Structure 1
Amino acid sequence: MDALAGLLDGPRARGAFLMRMVMEPPWSVRIEDRAPICLMSMTAGEAWIVRDGDSGDGGGDGDAVHIGPGDIVIVRGPDPYTVAHAPDLAPFARIGPGGVCTTLRGEALSTSMDLGIRTWGNAPNGSATMLVGTYLMEGEISGRLLGALPPVLRLSSREWNRSLMPLLDDEISRDEPGQSVVLDRLLDLLLIAVLRSWFSRPGADAPAWYRAMGDPVVGPALRLVQNSPAHPWTVASLAAKCGVSRAGFARRFTELVGEPPMAYLTGWRLALAADRLRETDATVEAIARQVGYSGAFALSAAFKRVRGISPQEHRTLGGGGTAATGVNAGGR
């Protein structure tokens, strides 16, 4: 398991919302659904992503992000933002929590702008077409990677492999058995493809632990830890597996990753535990043994020491639910 596999190995897309948005200018939509991640790619026309505080929304000194045909963006939530034909247009619609689409006065728009299965917009033959994938990923493991991303990540059509887009464009308006699973997996693949391209760019400011994956010594150690978190790893055993001295391994790992091997291992185990507490009904005892602790007491002590709350409190606060995202248009 590498860094990107770790991102999606836990709470992968389940019931993610995908749609085709078709618009004729002028248009502007305010997004306030609080979804942590949204992917958007233009297949025709152009659009602007304007976050609160960016230039074009009436305040701040940031830069609105332009996207044209073939470009793709990842917008990190949960802060609101606007998607528009031009950066200075006032929104005519609002997407709120649960994917409810209304005017700014609260009047329902979902039915009036329904253009078919997973297709939504103000004109059936509009000149601007965007594929949108929005889904909730609460996992702590994904947070390690997503925390290293900018609020709006953009890749031009020349900077990433767009081979998945024709398939997604074709599948998004289908309504066949198992279609939701097909779309979920396509969204996962699309996210991986975009992040892989983002981090492989010349001069990319990838996080230290991601860059360390390519190191001939530290990379194998990271994969050992990620693949087998329950194994009783020590600095000495990891060093032996990697064929270097204990002291040399500890020094190299800390320099490249930014924290000592055992601190990284603890963080990884607790991140896995946090995911499983939220996503499963397994007991704390069972989860503890799955991630490398001797039992519930040991996991609880580590969890409270690092996170300030007990595993059970984390489970209760996490809620275990998956909020709906996207726009109530078409087949979902």
Structure 2
Amino acid sequence: MLEQGIIENSVSNFNSPMFLVPKSSGEWRPVVDFRALNKITVPPRRFIKDYASIASPLTSLLKKDVPFQWSETRQKSFCDFKHALTSAPVLAYPDYSKPYILNTDASYSGLGAVLMQEHQGKNRPIAYASRTLNKAENNYAVTEIEALAVVWTLKKFKYIIYGYPVEIHTDHKPLLHLFKDLSGRMARWLLTVQDYMPTFTYIKGKANVAADALSRNCALTCAVSTETPTFDTLTHTDIFKAQRDDPMWSKVISYLETGNDLDLPHVPSLSHYVLQDDILYKATTLTGKYEPSRLIHQLVIPQTLVPSVLKLTHDTSHASRQRENTFTGETQICLAYNEERHKQSY
């Protein structure tokens, strides 16, 4: 093809493999390798009508000993793919009664993610996101940019997913155990991730092609094993013991476990308290401006754990100041704590 003048060597900044073909005017134009396009179109193929018919003119180019010849039919197929990937029914509206699945990926070209939900046994895309790395981020280690992809994507889709169950799928296995014993930048990112309380699932790289493609082309903008990261600042055992050692909350717990109301102190809205995994929570209604009201469970913090909670939430760059826990005299204690910290800084 080089000898015949059909193509010529090209050095391009595009991430996808490409070559040049002549236009009728005699000029040259780039053609993106269909194999790169195929990686993007295969994941949502079940939502693209007549996928095989659209792809046929392009897939025929991949057959052995078939000479490359661009035609109006193949150009139409390429344009039909672009239209299908950006038109309904590929993207779906979020269903707030279902958990979310967030596929993330990162490369030194950029970050990419796909937000999905299960619909009739299939994962349906809700939104895509991608961006390039800045100069400082290009110096991050591989695991750090993978973590950055998670943090950035959670913030990107916060208006959709905040307060709802989120399962993060990543093909970078170290992320499953990353959020432990951290400091500096990673510790700050941990606080953001904790705000969403997600679970992490490892998926093989070949099953994460959509997010991978977005992470590598953002300039143009199976069997799984599941693990949940543990955040060791306050363990389940710490909270379990502190609640049962507390003079008031221990009696509330005893009442919920046995029904014995002897010596039960007066607790406003007692019927709102529940036990989950032997831990005391208070059921309350969370309201938002752009989403329906929903019931959530707030962790009950005993007085002995208040200093630890305050240190965690006030001495670090917490991603959100929204109420996550509840304890007696919370507002007054927080004000006193901030005043004391202010005095110590001088």
TM over 0.5: no
Question: Which structure's CA Rg is the greater one?
Answer: 2
What TM-score results when the alignment is normalised by the length of structure 2? 0.24
* TM-score of the two chains, using structure 1 as the length reference: 0.25
